Amino acid sequence: MDRNILITGGAGFVGSNLAISFSQKPGIKVAALDNLKRRGSELNLPRLKRNGVAFIHGDIRNPEDLELDFTPDVIIECSAEPSVLAGYNSSPSYLLNTNLCASINCLEAARKWRADFIFLSTSRVYPIEKLNFLKFTENCTRFELNRNQTFRGASGNGISHEFSLEGHRSLYGMTKLCSEHLFEEYHAMYGLRGVVNRCGVIAGPWQMGKIDQGVFVHWVGSHYFKKDLSYFGYGGTGKQVRDLLHIDDLFTLIEWQVENLDKVNGKVFNIGGGKNVSLSLHETTSLCNEITGNKVNIKEQMKEREADVRIYMSDTCHAYNIMGWKPRKNAPEILKDIFEWIKGNEADVRGVLFS
């Protein structure tokens, strides 16, 4: 079926990779809209052009920037201020305007166009205190979730979409959760078709990773360029754990949702690498040593960072049961892909990754 797809945040890491992957599919025309605020997004413009993706320089905070010359059949909402630390030591205005107010503009555009709506939310919608209250054990390289947990939706496999939403989660997480609730209302009131994906850590080539967003790219890049690192909190040993998902595996999921939206319409999924594709920082360091051939100085910082959690892994059983989807790329493959991308684009990315 022929489709017009609009991807907001389309020059960012997730948006640009999804746009290019969709552009390779017969019958699909893709437009990427982005305000180019995040440094490094300008590096994706030649990639988009080479792959026939139309670029629109616009800002979803401005409703008039969504008055386009074509009518999308699908909106994939990737735009965001992505840092969980946003607003802690600065004004939250950009965060609130981009992640919440602008989502209203995107929902309104979808309602007007009768377009399907794929919303990329975040695992950060789950409350920090409850996540840090989960039962765990400690081994030589990581913290492990216990099989039996007090809270519904938590297990040794990670966090499912049924986990409690009661409690504070950071303004970043709250803006995303509010946007989810807004989608739910548009779905009920206007029949807007769509799906919510609560993504864990997404990683891969062309991610301009920082310590607060894109930690695995930051870790590989720090080893490649021989930059010092720190283990923050939880004993300063680097045993905190995250799952990670290759951007190509995310595309496979979203492509399926676009083509089979009736089967997932109105649903919420936790999306990530899960327990089988997860790493502690300690384990990530060992892999980076092996992949890059470099070792770096790592400081032990006892104090936890704001909004940090000891362990987060996505329980993706719901996604597998309904869509038959599961990640294909393992953690070493993801880190190797990042390494090869940095190696091949060293001059361009050095200043972005460590500005």
CATH number for position 319: 3.90.25.10
pTM exceeds cut of 0.95 = yes
Residue 287 carries which side chain, given as an amino acid letter? L
Residue 262 lies in a domain: no
Kindly give the confidence (pLDDT) of every residue in the chain, 355 residues in length, as a single tens digit, with 9 standing for 90 and above: 689 999 999 999 999 999 999 999 999 999 999 999 999 999 999 999 999 999 999 999 999 999 999 999 999 999 999 999 999 999 999 999 999 999 999 999 999 999 999 999 999 999 999 999 999 999 999 999 999 999 999 999 999 999 999 999 999 999 999 999 999 999 999 999 999 999 999 999 999 998 888 999 999 999 999 999 999 999 999 999 999 999 999 999 999 999 999 999 999 999 999 999 999 999 999 999 999 999 999 999 999 999 999 999 999 999 999 999 999 999 999 999 999 999 999 999 999 999 7
Residue 287 lies in a domain: yes
- Asked whether the CA dihedral 181, 185, 187, 192 is positive or negative, the reply is negative
Q: What total of structural domains would you count in the chain? A: 2
293 Cβ partners below 8 Å, 6+ apart? none
Residue 254 lies in a domain: no
- 66/152 same-domain check: no
Is the Cβ–Cβ distance between 130 and 169 less than 8 Å?
A: no
Residue 265 lies in a domain: no
Decide: helix, strand or coil at residue 266. Answer: coil
Residue 321 lies in a domain: yes
- 54/87 same-domain check: yes
CA atoms within 13 A on the CB side of 265: 13
Residues of the domain holding 332: 128-158+208-243+273-355
Is the Cβ–Cβ distance between 244 and 216 less than 8 Å?
A: yes
